[in-house]
Structures are given as C-alpha cells and as structure tokens.
Amino acid sequence: MLDMMALLRTQPISGLEPELMGLIDGFGAGVADWLPYEPASIWLLEPPAGRRELYLDPVMALSVIHRHLGQPAHAARVRAVSECERLYASIPAAETVRLYNYLTPDSPLCIPAPALTDFLRQAKGPASSLSTVIDRAIDAVRSGVRFTTLDQHEAAWTLDSLPALPPPPAMIEFVSAAGWEYQGDLEHNTRSFNAWRNRMRPIAARMAQTLGEPVYRFADPGLDTGDDNMHRFLLLHWLCSFLPASPYVRFLVEASGAAHVEALKSALLDPASYTHPFKMHDAFYSLTARTMRVELPGPGADMRIIAQPSPRGASGRPD
C-alpha cells in the first residue's frame, strides 16, 4: 500500500537534499600521491526526518580512510566497495537511505555514522585505530552543529532537537534548473524539463485551488534572478519522470510502497497526498546547517573544531 508519510520520513527535514553537518578533515596530510580533487574528508550529513544520528556514504568514507593508511586511490576504492557489502549486511535495511543529490541520480546508500566506526572496531585491522578519533569527531559535530532559520538567525535546533517532520516552509524547494540536468545531453534535458514544467501549470493551478495554498511558484521570465519554487513532491515527480530507472527513484518507489513508478507519480500529483502542512515561500532562504569542520589531530595535538557557513545542500559540499 502506498504511504506518502513513510516516503517523507526518508527525507531530511530541511529539504530533499541533506545539509552538510560536518567535515572530518586531515586524512590526506602527508600522503604525497593524493590526487587533485580526490576526496580527503569524511562528510557528515543531515539524517532522514526523525532520526538523531549523522549519516554518511560508507564507500567514500572507507576510501578516504584506506588512502590515509597508504593504499593507492584505485585499490582504496575497490577495498571500500568490497567492505561495504559486509557493512550493509551487518545493519538493518531500515537504517540505510538514499539521499537526494542534485548532481547525480546514482546517489549512494548512506548509513548512520556510528555504524561505520562499529564496523572498523569489529574488523580489527589497521583502520580500527581510527575508530575512536572518528567517534570523537562525530560526537563533536552531533552536539555542536546549529541551524540557521529563514530569517537568517541561528536556531536553537541541534540534531537532538530537530523537529520530527519538516516545518511547512521546508516542504518548498528552490529550483533554479532541472535536477540531474547534466545527465547526458544538457540541451535535451533542459527542453524536457521545460516541457514538464509547462504540463505542471494547469495541474498546479487545480491543486492550489483544492488545497488553498500554491504548490508551484513559476519563475518570472522577465527577472534574471527569478527561479521556480515548488512543493518537494513536485520535484520528486520531475525526477521520477526524467529518470524512472535511476537508483534514487527506485528507492523512492520502494520507500513509498508503490507498485511501480507510475503509481508513485500519480500519488505525487494527488491533492490527497498533501496532508503534511506546507507553506509557499522563496525557498532560496531556507533552513540551513552551520557546518562544522573537525581536523584529525596530529601526534600529541588536540582535535581542532572549526565552524563555517554551509553551502545549501550536500551537492555543494566542499572538500
């Protein structure tokens, strides 16, 4: 049976794309063959709604760890992929989640961050020596990160005090261009998005009349700074329409309990699915995390914790 609230609970409260909560830096220090643009940090991500643990991509995290321990880049990646087969099997499937990434539909299967350090300890290899310091970094981010509200004031929310479900403004997505627009032919994808957008105009108008609140604010073509704002379910409908066989869309179908992607698409346009409160606004100003950067300590040194402004969403993550 299709369950839209179950689908909503697989998504972060701030928006479809998770906020970058923290970076654990310093893994590349002293490694001479670290490649340009090769990730050198472990990224700690906002969890799905109602969960109180930071999340991460374990393949990327293990690749960074094995590079830090001296393996070449390709070997580190191969080993990380192999180890993750055992890691995924060791934790409940309900704790794994695919989080939306604006740049790629092949989003990784993410896990609670403490599950990684538990795995490192149980493996008892060289990487296990890093488990304690990584745990300390996770705890520092978990307890210290704060959110900035729509009025740009710092919120009292920490990870433990986040609301269980998105606040009404967080149901609206700022969309400056088609999600996954760089998958293949950019011009073709842009035309496809514009065609989908035009199909949404009468549908969105009827939904607004039924629901008493706009679900789509179309950009003013006369303004250079004009961009679309839409209910997150409509953005999901575009993604399901654009690349229905992608890993992220398959995850959405499974999470919702839909029989197939067309059933989910129908539900995403059904006013009866919009039971969770939402409020149209300019989603360029949204709930964001104030990212924390933690540096691995060198010999005899203390861990350094640095707070820094966060880019909006995980696809803008620095490294």
**pLDDT tens string 58-79:** 999 999 999 999 999 999 999 9
Please determine, for residue 152, whether its predicted confidence score (pLDDT) is greater than 80.
no
d(CA 117, CA 97): 18
Please determine, for residue 303, whether its predicted confidence score (pLDDT) is greater than 60.
no
Q: What is the pLDDT of residue 312?
A: 45
| Long-range contacts, stretch 233-237, CB < 8 angstroms, 24+ apart | 233/4, 233/268, 233/269, 233/273, 233/274, 234/173, 234/200, 234/204, 234/268, 234/269, 235/16, 235/173, 235/175, 235/179, 236/16, 236/268, 237/265, 237/268, 237/269
| Cβ atoms of residues 141 and 294 within 8 Å | yes
Which stretch, 104-118, 156-170, 287-301, has highest mean pLDDT?
Answer: 104-118
Please determine, for residue 23, whether its predicted confidence score (pLDDT) is greater than 80.
yes
d(CA 6, CA 97): 12
Strand ranges in the chain using DSSP code E only, listed in sequence order: 20-25, 42-45, 55-56, 97-98, 109-112, 146-148, 172-175, 216-217, 228-231, 288-290, 292-295, 304-307
**pLDDT tens string 207-235:** 999 999 999 999 876 666 568 999 999 99
Q: What is the pLDDT of residue 33?
A: 85
Side chain identity at 47, as an amino acid letter?
P
Q: What is the pLDDT of residue 104?
A: 92
Q: What is the pLDDT of residue 314?
A: 54
Q: Which residue has the higher pLDDT, 301 or 170?
A: 170
Six-digit token pair at 165? 């479900």
Q: What is the pLDDT of residue 311?
A: 45
Please determine, for residue 191, whether its predicted confidence score (pLDDT) is greater than 90.
yes
Q: Which residue has the higher pLDDT, 156 or 32?
A: 32
If you average pLDDT over residues 274-290, what whole number do you get?
A: 90
Spans of all domains in the chain: 4-163+287-316, 168-273
Please determine, for residue 16, whether its predicted confidence score (pLDDT) is greater than 90.
yes
Q: Cα-flanking dihedrals φ and ψ of residue 228, to 5°?
A: -75, 150
Confidence of residue 317 (pLDDT cuts 50, 70, 90): very low
Cα distances from 141 to residues 55, 146, 294, 304, in angstroms, run 12, 9, 8, 12
Please determine, for residue 204, whether its predicted confidence score (pLDDT) is greater than 60.
yes
| Cβ atoms of residues 242 and 189 within 8 Å | yes
DSSP symbols for 39-84? --SEEEEPPSTT--S-EE-HHHHHHHHHHHTT--HHHHHHHHHHHH
d(CA 223, CA 225): 5
Q: What is the pLDDT of residue 310?
A: 43
Determine how β-strand 20-25 pairs with β-strand 292-295: parallel
216: DSSP letter: E
Q: Which residue has the higher pLDDT, 300 or 265?
A: 265
